Amino acid sequence: MALHRNCEGMKRRDCLSLGLGALLGGGFVDALRLRSVASEGKPAAVTRKTSCILFWLDGGPSHFETFDPKPDAPSEIRGEFQPIETKVPGMFFSENMRRLSAISDKFSIVRSVRHDQNNHGAGNHYMTTGAPTRIPVSCGAFVSFHPSMGSVVSHERGAPHGLPPYFSLPDMSRSGGPNFLGARHAPFVVGDDPNSESFRVRDVTIPNGLDDGRAVSRRDLRNTMDSMLRFQDRAAGDPVLGADQNYQQAVSLITSEEAKKAFEIQQEPKEIREAYGRSTLGQQALLARRLVEAGVPFVTLNNGGWDHHSNIFPAFKGQGQKLEAVVATLIEDLAQRGMLDTTLVLVMGEFGRTPQISKLPGSNTPGRDHWSNAISVLVAGCGTPGGQVVGATDRYGYTAVENIYGPENLVSTVYRKLGIDPDTILYNTTGRPTHLVSDSRPIVELMG
């Protein structure tokens, strides 16, 4: 699996060396043990039907090369690509967004999100939690001062059939963790490539020799699970050595038809798999659809490589067009299955890119730098009006100037659409009250 680096040279998996491995989600046995601790003395979570699939574009995708082209700007701002008409009269995207332009009546584009955190660490945290960082952080930092959207949804919603409520593929974004909510609300990470013929999800598939979980003794289960593929950071100890009841829960899980079906992507018709594209991202999106079908309320597709300080135009001809085809297919598939009304689809990153095209230090080809004054976000589903552009940037794309919103408003919108009150107050490990977001007003245009 390819590892993407941002401008600081930080690998997406370097968080393991920073001591965050325990928060990246273990196997199902880990989740069962932690959930059993969390549920003592608490009522069962109410399962709702809405879900969210977040395409997190790590590095910060350009708004110019996606949903906010500036055809009247000088060439050093406009770039190489032309604007194209969409299905909605008067709405224009970059020419890289052809598939999405054809279904623009099915989603909204917000062009007016902005914030003041112009580095990867802080920007990532702000956009995925709705809370700015408390102290200055370095550009490449993995920051967790506040629970991520996925972890909050896990805490507030839960999931049916013993499935974890929060998944992240193929790994966790740098601020996608639970912070004070605890490791039980970290994402369950599916690191294997669902496009591979040998794809399997660790701690779900019964290993060879244990065909019928009902006949497995406690001793056999213990011995077998010791050999199953688990999360690579074992520094915190192996949770599979916990209480005996967790083994019995694990037996129930790995023999659950609902859980197994969710991961059997090989059972999808060939034409559906081909429609999503036989690529890692395409099959991850298809797996995400299967997970929300099974009742999982939050899935993140952590897609890196969007820090285009150089080579931005060839990158969007390849990477950009592949991404938008997958997003378009997912939206169309959800709509055809009657799932778009209950599934929120988000496409966003930590910030946009600078209006000025230049060869930045260390780069031999043109690119754009970080730019948090103007961020475009695609929002579809869960009652979001289609064919709508919310807000605007100025003539040259320097800053949002109409209907300006912050990350708090975007995150509040997500919570409301998922049945969570953004005015909820949680309590951290010291008993201190903490608001989910500092500004609970949603983006009203997205609420339908």
Give the sign of the dihedral formed by CA 249, CA 255, CA 257, CA 262: positive
**DSSP tag of 236:** T
For domain 14-446, is the CATH number 3.40.50.300?
Answer: no
Burial status of residue 415 (CB atoms within 10 A of its CB: 0-12, 13-18, 19 or more): buried
Residue that the structure tokens 């107050």 belong to: 425
For 279-320, the pLDDT digits (tens) are: 999 999 999 999 999 999 999 999 999 999 999 999 999 999
**Residue 241 binned pLDDT confidence (cut-offs 50, 70, 90):** very low
**Residue 76 binned pLDDT confidence (cut-offs 50, 70, 90):** very high
For 356-388, the pLDDT digits (tens) are: 999 888 888 999 999 999 999 999 999 999 999
Short-list 27, 49, 122, 117, CA closest to 292: 49
Query: Could you give the CA distance from residue 151 to residue 171 in angstroms, rounded to a whole number?
Result: 14
> Quick one: pLDDT at residue 10?
55
114 Cβ contact partners less than 8 Å away, ≥ 6 residues apart: 372, 373, 374, 375, 399, 400, 404, 405, 406
For 10-54, the pLDDT digits (tens) are: 554 444 333 343 334 444 445 444 444 444 433 333 344 899 999
